[in-house]
Structures are given as C-alpha cells and as structure tokens.
Amino acid sequence: MSAEMDSTGILPGEVTAFLTDSTLCIGCKACEVACKEWNGIEADGLELTGFSYDNTTALGHSTWRHVKFVEGTPEPGIGGNHPGKISWEFSSDVCKHCEVAGCLEACPTGALVRTEFGGVFLQPDICNGCAYCVFACPFGVVQKNEDDGRAFKCTFCIDRQKAGLEPACAKACPTESIKFGRLEDLRDEANRRMDILHSRGMSDARLYDPVDTSVKGTHAIFILRGEPEMYNLPPHPEVPTVYLKEGWKSAAIEAVAMVAAVAASFLVWGKSQRNGQG
Amino acid sequence: MNQLVKEEVREERLDAIREEAEARGSMGSAGIRPTGSPMAVASPEAGYYGQPLLKEPQWTPLIPVYFFVGGATGALAVIGSLADVLGGDEELARKARWMALGGTAISSALLIADLGTPSRFLNMLRVFKPQSPMSVGSWVLSGLGASAAASSLADLLEDEAGGNGAVEFLRAAGRAGCVLFGMPFHNYSGVLIGASVIPAWNSRIRSLPREFGMAGLQSAVSLLELSGEIDNDALNVLGLVSAVFESWEGIDLLRTRDRRLRPAKRGLSGLLVQLAGVFSGPVPIALRVASLFIKDRRVRQLAAVSGILGSLLMRYGWVSAGTASSRDWKIPLQIDGPAKRLDSRAEDEATRVASV
C-alpha cells in the first residue's frame, strides 16, 4: 500500500479533527498500540487495576490514546449477574485539541503551539518542564514525564498530517470508530450518525462537543452512550484564563495597598525613629 | 531513500495492527463479577471508577519556598526603595535593597531547580505571554533582578567613588524598577495558582493574591526585624497591618462554605493552611501589640519568627491543598457525593410522607 493511496487530501490551513464513535468501538486497543509504535512512546508497565479491561486508567505523558471500558453496575440474574443486561461501553479518549486551549495559554516558553491543521502541538525541543500546563488542562491530558523532565501529550500525528496521512490511531482502528477528517465534515457526520442511532432506538446516544463553554469547542469530538461523567469527561470544561482578569485585578489592588502602607508607615513612623535615635 | 523505505514499512505495520485487531481484538464479554461485590463501576454517580479527571500539579517542594522567597523579595524591594526617600532611613533601605537582590538570586535558583529541564530555563524568556502568569512572572523576576542589581550597584559605587550624576541615575532607575516589579512579584504567585483548573485554587482566585501578597509583606518586615531593625516602629506597624489582614482572610476562609475549599480546611493540607492563618494572623498581632508595652526585644523577635513561619506554612498549605483538590474527581464532573444525594432523596421522601 503506498502513501499516495492513503492520502487524506487535507492541506495545511484546513482544520482537522477526530470523531470518536464509542458505539462502533470494540475495545481492541489497536489505537493505543498504533500510537505508541508510531510515536515511539514508552510502555506504561503491566498493572492490573480491576477497572474492567482498563489498565492505564487515564491519558498521560506516555498514553496519548486511552480506551475507556465503561462498565456499569451489574444487574442480578439467575446464578449471578444478568449476562445480557450489563452496560458495557468502550470509548477511545485522546487530547481534545481545544479551540481555546488552557495548556497553550499557560505555556511560558511557547513550546505549545497551534499547528497549521488547528491542533495543539507540544514542541519537545522547546519545553523546559515547568509543568504549568499540567494543571491548566481542564481534561487532565498533558502530563510531565518525571524521568525525562518534559511534558508530553498527543501530537495529533502532525508529522503524518503534514505528509497527507491520517493519524496512526485512526489508521489502525478496525471499525472506523476513530474517524479523522475536516472538523466541519466530521460535525456533519456526527449529526447524521446521531440521527441514525436515535432512529434505531439508542436514545442515550449523545454527542460530546463542548462548544458552549469557554474552551469554545474541541478538535476531538465523541459520540457516547450515557452521561459524559461515566467517561470522565467534564460536563462543562473551563479554560483557566477566564479567571485571569479577576486574579490580576485583586493582585493590583493589593499591590497598591501594600505600597501605600509602606509609604505611609515610613512617612509617619520612619523619620521619628531615626531622629529619636539621634 | 532509506527513510522512505522505512516509512513504507511503518505504514505496513499500522495495517498489520488493524488486521490483527479486526481478527482478534473484539472484547467478547465483561469480566466476571460476583453479585453484590464492592467492585468499582463507571456511572453518572461514580464517575469513571472514581479515577481523578484532573492531573496533579507536578511541582517539587521547592515551589512553596519560591513563593515564600518571592513574596518577601518583592516587598523588600519596595521597602528598600521607599524607606530612604520617605522615611529618611538610609541604613534600613540599603539593607532591604541588598536583601531584595539576594532574594531575586535565590528565587531564580529555586525556579530553575524546579524545572524538569533546568538547562532550558532561558526558554522562559523566548516569548512574553500576558495570558500566562508563569510567563509574566518570569519576566517580572528578570526585571526585578536587574532593578535590584542597579540599586545595589549604585550603593556600591557611591561607597567607592562617591556620588555623581551617573550613580544618581542608576539609583533612580533601580528605585523605579524595584517598585514597579516588586509590586507584581510579591503577589503574582496567587494569580499563578488561582488561574488554573484546580478547584480549591480557582475558587480563591480573588483572595490568594491578596493573602500571598500580605504574607510577603509580613515576611519582608520580619526578616528586616531579625536582621537587626528590631526597634523600628514603621516595621512594627506594617507587621500589624499585614497580620490584621491575614486574620481577616482566615476568618473569611472559615466562613466560606464551599465544597471546593475542603482541602484547605481538612486533612494535612487543611491543618497547614489553618496553622498558617494562626501564625501569620492572631499570634503576631498579640505579640506586636504586647511589644508596645513590654520593653523586651524578644517579644518582637517572636512576632517576626511567627510571621515567617506563617508565611512559609501558608505556601506549603495551599500547594498541598491544590494537590488534594486535583484528586477530587467529583468537582470537575459536577457530581455531588452519592451518599448525600441518597440522603436528600430520603429526606424528600420523608417530608412528602409527613405532609401527606
């Protein structure tokens, strides 16, 4: 298979996105494997968590795709739990590449940049590991690798996108649960898919695309079954820069008060002091 | 050419992963769960197995020390620039300027030591981003360092060669810079942590800069007192002002009933924050007032030690409260405690029955 055949035809300047459809996910973790192999990320180790088949639990510096296994409360049946009634969903999580990204705003070095495809890219040759981006992310995605000393997150396979290829996870997904394309196209496709799912009676299917929040939408949108809370997705993600004005205003008032207090006390009590001492 | 062949191979590898997943990757059924077992579940009430949504702050224990030194340094720079012109206290001002210069050096060292890749600390000055308090802070620290150095250099030159126009210009520039940069440097750390996704911090975005700033003033005053300015009335007044303010902030914190502030009231982080409030508020107030009547220098010294301890504990307390807060997955998922929810439902039921 040659690279030309796979070409996405998406040119720099166009905004790309992921549409991750959990109703098509089979929980195979091919996306995790493909991501690690393509990007050369270290292994997470083999630790069994007991949370269904999820043994990585969250996105992190070495986990840029993470398949969630959303296993609900079992319902009793004959001889144990009812085998047909267990709610069990899979969903592959990824960096949301926010329209207004907390990590990108917070980064003091300019290591985090907006790419020509609209994604958020962390340049590992610039990052100095200040770790401020880590708690500026409302989705808990970016993390510092303590051994390496720098922060890491999904690159949106910018290297592949530049070459006209789709990201490794999307390429390796066997059921097209992970779709890659232009954001606008994928939003349309997601809406069509929602209509289909609802017409089939899957009334709990929903689209997770937080456009009406301060992150102003994401470049990774999700079709989920059930509440976003079950998938550890915040119902109202907030970019922390919205607090800046309030914080700096308070800081400015206190700073002026501090200078005034210093000036006043030395003006009134400072002179008498030295004079008194002679 | 070699590169192209390699890319081709890697493309094929992705295809192979997909084919293998297609053939063998489908999850047949959920794991075995004994009925009634207390296994974690994912649900709208339990979140995703109770796993934290946010990432923990990955700062080393040097950062609270940096906040402490930075707070004191900013206030010392301001005192060093005003005490001589307004109070005529040349000796104290000079001492404060030298301490501010030392403070900027220690601050830089602490900040660099905390970086994951310290050799890249200059990358902080690659760009200026007003929307990033970390970027603003790095520039303010640089500006304050240069200003404090200019002030102290002017002092040195005056001693060695006597005053002239150039020395006066250097001193004026240093003085202006010390006030200009000392103001944001003594309290920006409150904005730095407040403008984050950590619930305990951003719920106090307004008070953290004030609290940290006044703690900076108190530690500056206390350090000057311990350095020998123990009889200075202006310093005692400033110590009282900041201690009264910290007491007010502490009462405000206790009075604010907010789930997000739990780590500032309970557990080890809560203990630290509360102890910090006591040592930087009521204790120095009592000792400083007492020092007006008791002519024993140890009373003032104790007040100064208490103020320094309180300021340091405050930074450790709030940083550890942030770490505890980041683990509380219920807040970003906007889930009330399930037990609470059940209780309130039961109460509703009970009141309904009673009214019928």
pLDDT of residue B353: 46
B131–A265 C-beta distance less than 8 A: no
Whether residue A34 contacts residue B17, with contact meaning beta carbons closer than 8 Å, is answered with yes
Query: Could you give the 3-state DSSP secondary structure of residue B83?
Result: helix
Task: Please tell me what DSSP assigns to residue A269.
Answer: I
Q: Name the region of B35 (left: φ>0; alpha: ψ -120 to 50; beta: rest).
A: beta
Residue of B5, B20, B132, B335 to mutate for A, most A C-beta atoms under 10 A: B132
**pLDDT above 70: percentage of residues in chain B:** 89
Task: Show the DSSP H helices in chain A as ranges.
Answer: 3-6, 30-39, 102-106, 158-162, 168-172, 183-199, 244-265, 271-277
| DSSP H or E stretch at residue B109 | helix B90-114
Per-residue pLDDT at B31: 63
What integer pLDDT is reported at residue B32 of this predicted model?
62
- What's the start-to-end Cα distance of chain A, in Å? 93
Interface touch B233/A273, C-beta < 8 Å? yes
Whether A76 and A139 map to the same domain: the answer is: yes
Domain B56-186 has CATH 1.20.1630.10: yes
**Strand pairing of A220-225 and A16-21?**
parallel
Residue with tokens 């301060």, as numbered in its chain? A214
Residue A175 pLDDT exceeds 90? yes
Name the residue of chain A whose CA is nearest to B23's CA: A174
Split at pLDDT 50, 70, 90, the class of B343 is: very low
* Spatial distance between the Cα atoms of B14 and B17, rounded to a whole number of angstroms: 5
Confidence of residue A78 (pLDDT cuts 50, 70, 90): confident
**Residue A157 DSSP one-character state:** T
Question: What's the average model confidence in pLDDT over A44-72?
Answer: 89
Residues on chain A touching B252 (C-beta within 8 angstroms) = none
Nearest CA in chain B to A86: B30
pLDDT at B356: 41
* Residue-level pLDDT at A53: 85
As a whole number of angstroms, the distance between CA B78 and CA A259 comes to 7
Give contacts of A139 with chain B, Cβ < 8 Å. 53
Q: Could you give the 3-state DSSP secondary structure of residue B230?
A: coil
Q: Using the predicted structure, report yes or no on whether residue B337 has a pLDDT greater than 70.
A: no
- Residues A121, A219 contacting (CB under 8 angstroms): no
Tens digits of per-residue pLDDT, A89-134?
899 999 999 999 999 999 999 999 999 999 999 999 999 999 999 9
Quote the pLDDT of residue B346: 43
Name the residue in chain A with its Cα closest to that of B135.
Answer: A108
The pLDDT-based confidence of A14 (bands split at 50, 70, 90) is: very high
CA–CA min distance B83, chain A (Å)? 6
A176: nearest Cα among A184, A163, A186? A186
Average pLDDT over residues A1-6: 49
Percent above pLDDT 90 for chain B: 82
**What band does B6 get if pLDDT is binned at 50, 70 and 90?**
low
- List A residues 166-185 in contact with B (Cβ-Cβ < 8 A): 168, 171-175
Nearest to A273 among B232, B238, B326 (CB): B232
Cross-chain Cβ contact B88/A270 below 8 Å: yes
Pair of tokens at residue B183? 């103001």
Q: Quick one: A201 and A110 in the same domain?
A: yes
Contacts of B10 in chain A (CB under 8 A): 37-38
Helix (H) or strand (E) holding A221: strand A220-225
* Number of independent structural domains in chain A: 2
Query: What is the pLDDT at residue A209?
Result: 95
Tokens found for residue A179: 């779709």
Tell whether the model's pLDDT for residue B230 goes beyond 90: yes
**Judgement on whether residues A147 and A98 belong to the same structural domain of the protein:** yes
Please give the distance of CA A215 from its chain centroid, rounded to a whole number: 11
8 Å CB contact of B35 and A81: yes
**Mean pLDDT on B128-139:** 97
The minimum CA-CA distance between A180 and chain B, rounded to whole Å, is 15
Considering the domain architecture, whether residues A79 and A206 belong to the same structural domain is answered as yes
Q: Which of A258, A269, A272 to mutate to test the interface with B (most CBs of B within 10 A)?
A: A258
Q: pLDDT-derived band of residue B27, with 50, 70 and 90 as boundaries?
A: confident
Mean pLDDT of chain B: 90
Is the pLDDT at B342 greater than 50, yes or no? no
Alpha helices in B121-227 (DSSP H): 133-161, 165-185, 188-194, 199-202, 207-226
Same domain, A178 and A216: yes
- At residue B5, does pLDDT exceed 70? no
* Partner-chain residue, chosen from A237, A240, A247, that has the shortest CB–CB distance to B190: A247
If asked whether residues A195 and A255 sit together in one domain, one would say: no
Do both A129 and A252 map to the same domain?
no
Taking the C-alpha atoms of residue A24 and residue A189, their distance in angstroms, rounded to an integer, is 14
Range of weakest confidence among A232-236, B61-65, B189-193, B332-336? B332-336
Both structure tokens of B130: 């007003």
Nearest CA in chain A to B71: A255
Size of interface A-B (CB pairs under 8 A): 357
What's the domain range around A110?
3-238
